[in-house]
Structure 1
Amino acid sequence: MAEKELNNVGNDDLIAEITDIISGYFEVYIDKHSFNYSRFVTHLQYLLKRQDQGVFIKSDNKEMYISMVKKFPRTNECVEQIAKFLKAQLDFELEQEEKLYLMLHVNRLCLRERL
């Protein structure tokens, strides 16, 4: 198996575990065939690729991050669980910017799945 394929298999396992974290935290069924899940997976794939390449998103969204944390504390708690998982698995820490985008995707995924 090529190195790229091995990396994708590893990422697929990580994404599945992250999905389980979200599903368990919010006690929601996540349809893995839905458009929202596909968008979420794409975001995670790019997050993992950026981490692998040592490239991090940098912008001036600190106020937006703080606002999201206040408005969606449960989503933030879930993202913090994901951040701990990624730290344990890959030994890398999510920056606030990555957490912000992850919060947006988790929130969208869970809100859509509950409807």
Structure 2
Amino acid sequence: MNMKIKKIFNNNVALTEDLNQTEMVVMGKGLSFQKKVGDEIDTEKIEKTFITPSESFADKLSELFDDIPYDIMALSKDIIDMANRELHTELNDSLYLSLSDHIHFAVTRSKNGLPIKNALMWEVQKFYKAEHRVARKALDMIKVRTGVSLPEDEAASIALHLFNARQDSSGMEETMAMTNIVSSVTSIVKYHYGIAFEEESMNYSRFITHLRYFAYRMLRGELNNDHNDALYKQVKMQYPKAYDCAKKVQAYLNNQYNVEMTKDELAYFMIHIHRVSSREKS
């Protein structure tokens, strides 16, 4: 493949054009070292290509290479390649940006003794088992390549990045349906309690995140089938008003989408509804 350099971002990444005038951002260690615009790229050095990228994407990729060591970018590529195989999918290219940035930040924090907890860790383990299993493998790869053992919370964070990269490829119809579900359920909770949400709060952010993931799984027929009676009864007893609200959500979903929520799903809804309605500070 004949590829000429149109723009050099740094020693490891360049914007190229082939004989069909197809633009690609290519990455590989040292592939543009001592090169200039118009030179041909040694294709054997190419490790990853981003075909017909937007100008903003190319700029973000360039900025990332300026801020993040190449070894981390290469590690992210290997993790994504592994995830594509394990999840039998093709993850969105935007994941190379977000995952590299996250891993670099997480490794740096860990070295400085500043780990960050993931408030959704248990839910990710429970509802996104495939992504979490892959993320656990990613932690092993990170340990081997960087010498840093990241905490289990980071497996949940990486799993969410993987999930979002799958979600990015959703069709417009599905995206609109998800948006409608989030909006409608949020309104049910808002009017049930007669409150205005503190949209900058952590509890609101957690609630919307849970709701988006629920809507995504619901539309794809991937809702959790477990019926954890013990958890359900405990939460129902502890948060009776949240239970009443959750039942309204359940009725809405049943009427509009013919979906029956399991007791597990209802229990987690109650927990998030209670948190967001009580406006607890986190």
Q: TM-score, length-normalised on structure 1?
A: 0.85
1:57 aligns with 2:218: no
**Deviation of the 1:107 alpha carbon:** 0.6
The 10-residue stretch of structure 1 (67-76 or 94-103) with the greater mean CA deviation from structure 2: 67-76
**Paired position in structure 2 for 1:84:** 251
Hey, what's the Cα distance between the residues in 1 that align with 2:271 and 2:216? 19
Corresponding position of 1:68 = 235
Specify the alignment match of 2:188 in structure 1: 21
* Distance (whole Å) between structure 2 residues aligned to residue 109 and residue 101 of structure 1: 12
Corresponding residue of 2:4: none
Structure with bigger strand share is 2
2:204 aligned with 1:37: yes
Shift of 1:14: 1.8
Does the residue aligned with 2:279 lie in a helix, a strand or coil?
Answer: helix
Shift of 1:60: 6.3
Output the CA distance in 1 between the equivalents of 2:228 and 2:264. 7
Partner SS state of residue 57, structure 1? coil
Partner of 2:145: none
Unaligned residue ranges in structure 2 (runs of 5+): 1-168
Inter-partner Cα distance in structure 1 for 2:275 and 2:230: 20
CA contact (8 A) 1:32 1:38 kept: yes
How many residues were matched structurally? 113
Q: Which has the larger radius of gyration?
A: 2
8 Å CA contact 2:250, 2:260 repeated in 1: yes
Please give the TM-score of this superposition, normalised by the length of structure 2: 0.37
Structure 1: 4+ residue segments shifted above 6 A: none
Moved more, 61-70 or 76-85: 61-70
Residue 101 (structure 1) aligned with residue 254 (structure 2): no
Give, in whole Å, the separation in 2 of the partners of 1:41 and 1:111: 15
- Structure 1 60/94 Cα, relative in aligned 2: closer, same or farther at 3 Å? closer
Greater RCO between the two (CA within 8 Å, min separation 6)? 1
User: Do the aligned partners of 2:203 and 2:276 also contact (CA within 8 Å) in 1?
Assistant: yes
Identity of aligned residues (%): 25
Structure 1 residues without counterparts, runs of 5 or longer: none
8 Å contact kept, 1:28–1:113: no
